[in-house]
Copies of this chain bind each other. A is one copy, B any other.
Amino acid sequence: MDVQQTIIDALKQAGINATAQRIAVGRYVLLEADHPTADEVKAAVDKVFPKISMATIYNTLHTLEKAGILRAVKLPHTGRVVYDRNMEPHYHMIDEESGTLTDLEAQRVKLQHELDKEYDIHEVEIFFRGVRKTDQ
């Protein structure tokens, strides 16, 4: 099955009408990209689908979010939004040197607290910030 069809199926499964623009955006953010900003999505999609408008980029990203197959992450250092196709529980490492954002599977971090006594906790967001050690 080709990539195009994979995306069309994914969109349909999510209840999203698979238009050409949505397929192009979906293909990039759901299969190819790694935490892109909206700009980067536009730049990438433009190559394949010139003249797509920023409004459609945002519309589509919001549609994917609402459908539960994409997540917007607001970065605390820049304040910018990046899009994350990893829908599993996970945290983020921000490499201060490169600016790169890396996913950390939830099981790599153990959290202990007694906040449940006071709160119904719906989500825990963690950003680690640091630099990758030089391998030696």
Contact = CB atoms under 8 A, between A and B. Distances in A.
Nearest to A131: B120
Given A74-B76, A79-B74, A119-B93, A124 B129 contact: yes
One complex includes copies of this chain to the number of: 2
Interface string A83-122: 0000000000101100000001000111111110111111
A125 B109 CA distance: 13
A130 interface: yes
Given A124-B128, A129-B124, A115 B119 contact: no
A62 interface: no
Interface of A: 73-77, 79, 81, 93, 95-96, 104, 108-115, 117-133
